[in-house]
Structure 1
Amino acid sequence: MTGAIGVVGGVGPLAAAHFYQRLLQRSGADRDEDYPTVILIADRVPSRIAHLAGTGPSPVPVLVKVARRLVAAGAESIVIPSATTHAYREEIAAAGGVPVFNLLEETGRRLRERQYRHPLVLATESTIRLGLYERHLEDSIRAHYPSASEQHEVNGFIEAVKRGNDLEACRRKFAQWINEIAPRSGADSIVLGCTELPVINPSRTSHLPTVDTTDVLADAVLRAQRHRRVTKKFQHHLQSR
């Protein structure tokens, strides 16, 4: 995956903006010209949660349009900063005709690298019901999920971010909630599996390590960019011999 990075925004908008911010913050760049080239298009995408629940229109036409616009603008790879929207990843990839980063796969890789075997996955009900993360987990990794009442609270945090509520207040409440449920979860880590949740990722929790899927995705993009630079440098070296 190389060149300009196309970001599918609007899935939700704050999550996409947060991804772009984290991409910049984790890039290690210190000059304007050293930051990655990014094209972000935030269209008004219908709710993927409602569509997957059978209560809303398909987001595919808008997602396809965004993918094509990104490629037309020069994107050579596409990023979808939304776990639930990965239910439509194949349609987006087919429309754009360029590589699409896989947040779910990269999260599975991070869990494997850190040897977390019992992650508590906090995600939308659609992501959980479809088993989107499970498809990318090793057999030795067993995902845990909140109880029904806890999932209701997760939904509330996700919706609060989408509404643009006071994020600092949400972050404090989220930290307190995580610290309450972590000891009884039986988990060895917490996956912020809906990208609204990294927006209010607590700076500290007292019990379990956290896997921030926005950072996981940003790291995957930056790793691909570094690989591209090394490859180009090597090719230039061969050509100059």
Structure 2
Amino acid sequence: MTGAIGVVGGVGPLAAAHFYQRLLQLSGADRDEEYPAVILVAERVPSRIAHLSGTGPSPLPVLMKVARRLVAAGAESIVIPSATTHAYRGEIAAAGGVPVFNLLEETGRRLGERKYRNPLVLATESTVGLGLFEPYLKNGIRARYPSVSEQHEVNGFIEAVKRGADPEAGRRKLALWINEKAPHYGADSVVLGCTELPLINPGGSLRLPTVDTTDVLAEAVLRRTAAPQGDEAASTSLPILVRKSF
């Protein structure tokens, strides 16, 4: 697959911009013409968290509009740089009529490849509450999730990124939080499962290995787009259109 990659922006906006940046940085390109072709459409998308909790309007009309715009502009596949928005992945795929990458599945695969069995998953309350990662955790992987009170603290980190707070301060605070809390959950790794959190990824400041879902998704896209047609060994998960309900 060598066509343009369509990126659903606005979910949230900074997370989508960061995904595009990481896609370029991880591509290995040296010249302008070597970078992947990307179409990014960022609309004002209603809160998925509010909708999934029954307190806000559906984001589906906007998300489906974005999918159609991406395909009309030439996208041959779609990427959603948001774990929570994967609750609507089936509808987005149906609206666009092209394959949609699966961040959740790619994250599960990465955990399996690295033999992490007890990851502490940091994500939005909707992603956690709906168990969006759970169908993709195989071979004995058992996710740990923050307690209710500590989930509120994770929400605070996510919201700070969304409002453009100082990322360096966010990194320091997140590192301290993870290093203090993760051992109590018996975690062997930490999944930055909301794509706002990779913007404040503490990296080497952590005592546990980290799975950065933005990088996992970007690497999956690059593997697929670099694979020659029919090269199964180089391909990654890009499922045929299947409508899923969460």
TM interval, short-chain normalised? over 0.9
Give yes or no for contact 1:5–1:38 (8 Å, CA) kept in 2. yes
Moved more, 217-226 or 165-174: 165-174
TM-score normalised by the chain length of structure 2: 0.91
Match of 1:32 in 2: 32
Instruction: Name whichever structure is richer in helix by fraction.
Output: 1
Distance across 1 between alignment mates of 2:182 and 2:131: 22
5+ unaligned residues in a row in structure 1: which ranges?
232-241
Q: Does 1:158 align with 2:158?
A: yes
Match of 2:202 in 1: 202
What code does the residue aligned with 2:62 have? V
The alpha-carbon deviation at position 203 of structure 1 amounts to: 2.5
Distance across 2 between alignment mates of 1:99 and 1:187: 34
What code does the residue aligned with 2:174 have? F
The alpha-carbon deviation at position 28 of structure 1 amounts to: 0.4
TM-superposition CA deviations, 1:134-181 (whole Å, max 9, x none)? 011114110100111211110000000111111111111111111111
What are the within-5 Å matches in structure 2 for residues 1-241 of structure 1? 1-228=1-228
Give yes or no for contact 1:84–1:124 (8 Å, CA) kept in 2. yes
What code does the residue aligned with 1:158 have? I
5+ unaligned residues in a row in structure 2: which ranges?
232-246
The alpha-carbon deviation at position 206 of structure 1 amounts to: 3.6
The alpha-carbon deviation at position 126 of structure 1 amounts to: 0.5
The alpha-carbon deviation at position 228 of structure 1 amounts to: 3.4
Distance across 2 between alignment mates of 1:51 and 1:212: 26
RMSD value, Cα: 1.2
Give 3-state SS (helix, strand or coil) of 1:49's partner.
helix
What code does the residue aligned with 1:100 have? V
Give 3-state SS (helix, strand or coil) of 1:150's partner.
helix
The alpha-carbon deviation at position 85 of structure 1 amounts to: 0.1
Aligned residues: 231
Distance across 2 between alignment mates of 1:131 and 1:228: 35
Match of 1:239 in 2: none
What code does the residue aligned with 2:85 have? T
Distance across 2 between alignment mates of 1:44 and 1:94: 21
What code does the residue aligned with 1:162 have? K
The alpha-carbon deviation at position 50 of structure 1 amounts to: 0.1
Give 3-state SS (helix, strand or coil) of 2:41's partner.
strand
Give 3-state SS (helix, strand or coil) of 1:8's partner.
strand
Give yes or no for contact 1:175–1:204 (8 Å, CA) kept in 2. no
TM-superposition CA deviations, 1:37-61 (whole Å, max 9, x none)? 0000010000000000000000000
Higher-Rg structure is: 1
Give 3-state SS (helix, strand or coil) of 1:195's partner.
coil
Moved more, 146-155 or 38-47: 146-155
Give 3-state SS (helix, strand or coil) of 1:174's partner.
helix
Distance across 2 between alignment mates of 1:228 and 1:200: 35
Runs of 4 or more consecutive aligned structure 1 residues displaced over 6 Å after TM superposition: none
Give 3-state SS (helix, strand or coil) of 1:85's partner.
helix
Distance across 2 between alignment mates of 1:195 and 1:43: 17
The alpha-carbon deviation at position 205 of structure 1 amounts to: 2.8
